[in-house]
Amino acid sequence: MSPTVLLTQPSRCFETVVVPELARVSDSRRSASAVLRLWNVEACLADDVQLVVSELVANAIEHGFGRVALRIMEEMGSITVEVSDANRAPARIRGAQLDDVRGRGLAIVAALVQSWGVSEGGCTTWATFPPREVSERDD
């Protein structure tokens, strides 16, 4: 019997629940950093993913309801971040003025990722990064 050949990189997923306190955003960022190191994600991309995690988790804590869930997935070199809460009102980019100190989070996310959006039910905001080269060492 011959060995099975995988034609695609197996998918990987990290999930956690975040206590809905703004002080916990840094915990989410550190968790993302550890997972991305484990997956051998290059530093530049890992920095962008961590920033997106911070922005989406902070938005969910500040504007959402109930528990906040963070999911980071990699499939075929593409990384997707999903953050969910119980607020059915979809996240949206706000038009921050130059002197505003807040209101730019989703604009930052949109600038860093290939695509982003909100689930049909409005409870999950997701962001996907372009595929990266996946080496055999990433197993």
Q: What is the pLDDT of residues 60-101, one digit of tens each?
A: 999 888 899 999 999 988 999 999 999 887 777 777 666 655
pLDDT 10s digits, 14-50: 999 999 999 999 999 999 999 999 999 999 999 999 9
Name the pTM for this structure.
0.83
Other CB atoms within 10 A of residue 111 CB: 9
Here the tokens at position 38 are 């484990």
Residue 135 CB contacts under 8 Å (≥ 6 apart), including other chains: 40
Smallest CA-to-CA distance from 109 within 56, 41, 35, 42 is with 56
Would you state the pLDDT for residue 132?
Answer: 75
Can you read off the two tokens belonging to residue 114?
A: 């290939």
